Structure 1
Amino acid sequence: MASKSTTGLPLDSANIMSTVLEGILYGFSVLMFIGTIWTFTYKQRIRDINQPSTVVATLLFVLSTVHMIVGIIRLEDGLVKYGNTFHDGPAGFFADVTQQTFVTKNTIITLQTLLGDGVVIYRCYVVWRSVWIIILPCMMWCGVAAFGICMVYVQAPTTNAKNVFGNQTGHWITAFLSLTLATNLLSSGLLAYRIWTIERNVSGAYATKNNMPILRVLVDAALLYSAAFCASLVCFAISNNGFYVLGDLIVPIISIAFYMVFIRVAISKKIHECLSATLC
């Protein structure tokens, strides 16, 4: 099978670095998850809790936790358990994309990405209040799902794929990353534009001081989300092993980006309720 020559870190070093950096970001995402749940539930009755957002936040936490655990297992397998049985040692193990741990991690990345993109598209629908505005993003989301499934399928243990940069896997990964990036940029752009136009037409000090930070948080989250995928796509395009590092960091970054928005929106809602109670 034809494969591209790789550059950058050795694969064993790349996997060690990715696990360490992911652990740091995961710890930060855990704190933000706790903060998110606290803002949703503090002094709230059960029926007043935003249940959809709570479910999404919990799913993001569960997926990132499982991804972290599988990453640690994969690191141990490559360095201790199975690494010496491969021709190139641990580097050969980490290069083998048909390993069950690698397939599992990519499955989680696909699910995390679909969940994140789905939330942004749903927000577009809520803000625009029109099904027509989300037709293209929904079609692109379906494309992301299809490419993600194909990407995971070609890396199954029953296939002959042996290199993530090889032709058998490369075009599916490129399509998945590119379409995910485009879907997020389009959906976030539509969402930000709608909020900006609404706020521009709203008069009063409260709207200016309280709601515009939400727009900034949405933009910051979208930029963080998109920057991670863009960097991964660049590394993959030049066959750099940094792709392994950035690929693992995508999962906690997605969680952090959405926790940012959840916390800010929840705080803004409580401020609005307090002001309304004071003025009434």
Structure 2
Amino acid sequence: MVVAAVLMFTISTFDLAVMLDYTIRSIVYNDPRTSRKFSGIANWWGLTEFCNFVVQSFLGDAILIYRCYVVWSRRKYLVGPAMLTSTTGIICGISAAILGTTAFHQTNSGKDLTPLITSMLVLTTVTNFSTSALIVYRIWNVRKESSRYRFTVSESHRQDPLVKAMRAIVEAGLLYSMSLLVMVILYSLGHHAQVPVSRMIVQIIGITFNLVITRTAYSRDESYATSSIIIYPLRAVTINTEVLVARDSPSEGEK
């Protein structure tokens, strides 16, 4: 998790640096390479940002699949479809990046890469939604089964750690999935808003990764007390008490 956090931070920072360089060149220096005819991934700015997007998406999918794998007691057959969709989406992204380098100066390269990029976005969305749903269902099912053997001393169910975990995963999953869905729609329509949204998604992937950790981390300062007991029917208990009195034998004078 530490390695993943460092990688995501590095990629996000590098993506911001590339975007800042592109903005300065296009606004301050009026670089002709930043004009509309070089938009998309037909220049090194767009190509680099697209590669950042692909790598960040791969890290996000890999961590989410691993979490699902652990939560489901390391059952490989449950994460198999998610691994398939994620791998296929990454292959589409890598293929689009490779084709983008060969068509570096072609203004119509974006049209040729549309099926690959659209497939990558859709498959990434499916992977994120399916794995998040599996994790939430697993936690909800465990909480339901274990509710017969535990009681919670708290003011509300919000302080239940399992409920907090489900809420954090749902929030992170919806944040990521909705961002990808918006990106798919904008890219399909060819809207220029796809550029800032794609840059936001690179940052959102890292945010959702840390959101689950910070929201589900155990804190000693939490004001709830949770105990687990096994409930048995009450029975009458009989206690036998025996009293043994010892005394010295009488002396000859007393006799």
TM-score by length of 1: 0.71
Of the three residues 76, 88, 95, the one matched with 1:131 is 76
Kept in 1: contact 2:139–2:162 (CA 8 A): no
Query: What is residue 266 of structure 1 aligned with on the other side?
Result: 217
Residue 17 of structure 2 corresponds to residue 69 of structure 1? yes
Kept in 1: contact 2:132–2:173 (CA 8 A): yes
Residue 156 of structure 2 corresponds to residue 205 of structure 1? no
Shift in Å at residue 65 of structure 1?
A: 0.5
Shift in Å at residue 78 of structure 1?
A: 2.5
Write the distance in 2 (CA, Å) between the matches of 1:156 and 1:206: 58
C-alpha distance 163-70 of structure 1, shift in aligned 2 (>3 A): farther
Instruction: Structure 2 unaligned segments of length 5 or more: list them.
Output: 227-255
C-alpha distance 148-213 of structure 1, shift in aligned 2 (>3 A): same
Percent identity between the aligned chains? 26
Instruction: Structure 1 unaligned segments of length 5 or more: list them.
Output: 1-52
Kept in 2: contact 1:188–1:219 (CA 8 A): yes
Query: What is residue 234 of structure 1 aligned with on the other side?
Result: 185
User: RMSD of the TM alignment (CA)?
Assistant: 2.4
Of the three residues 69, 82, 86, the one matched with 1:141 is 86
Residue 10 of structure 2 corresponds to residue 59 of structure 1? no
Kept in 2: contact 1:97–1:161 (CA 8 A): no
4+ aligned runs moved over 3 Å, structure 1: 89-93, 157-161, 205-208
Query: What is residue 119 of structure 2 aligned with on the other side?
Result: 175
Write the distance in 1 (CA, Å) between the matches of 2:138 and 2:76: 14
Shift in Å at residue 155 of structure 1?
A: 1.6
Kept in 2: contact 1:63–1:108 (CA 8 A): yes
Structure 1 stretch displaced more, 155-164 or 193-202: 155-164
Write the distance in 2 (CA, Å) between the matches of 1:250 and 1:182: 16
Kept in 2: contact 1:116–1:254 (CA 8 A): yes
Write the distance in 1 (CA, Å) between the matches of 2:221 and 2:135: 22
Residue 35 of structure 2 corresponds to residue 90 of structure 1? yes
Post-superposition CA distance 1:240-279 (Å, at most 9, x none): 11111211110111111111101122236x679x969xxx
Query: Which letter maps to 2:43?
Result: Q
Write the distance in 1 (CA, Å) between the matches of 2:152 and 2:56: 35
Tell me the secondary structure at the aligned position of residue 144 of structure 1.
helix
Tell me the secondary structure at the aligned position of residue 267 of structure 1.
coil
Write the distance in 2 (CA, Å) between the matches of 1:68 and 1:137: 29
Greater relative CO, 1 or 2 (CA 8 Å, sep 6+): 1
Tell me the secondary structure at the aligned position of residue 218 of structure 2.
helix
C-alpha distance 154-161 of structure 1, shift in aligned 2 (>3 A): farther
Query: What is residue 130 of structure 2 aligned with on the other side?
Result: 186
Query: What is residue 221 of structure 1 aligned with on the other side?
Result: 172
Write the distance in 2 (CA, Å) between the matches of 1:271 and 1:114: 36
Q: Could you say which structure has the higher helix fraction?
A: 1
Tell me the secondary structure at the aligned position of residue 135 of structure 1.
helix
C-alpha distance 271-58 of structure 1, shift in aligned 2 (>3 A): farther
Query: What is residue 32 of structure 1 aligned with on the other side?
Result: none
Please identify the structure whose Cα radius of gyration is greater: 2
Of the three residues 185, 196, 200, the one matched with 1:249 is 200
Shift in Å at residue 167 of structure 1?
A: 2.5
Query: Which letter maps to 2:128?
Result: N
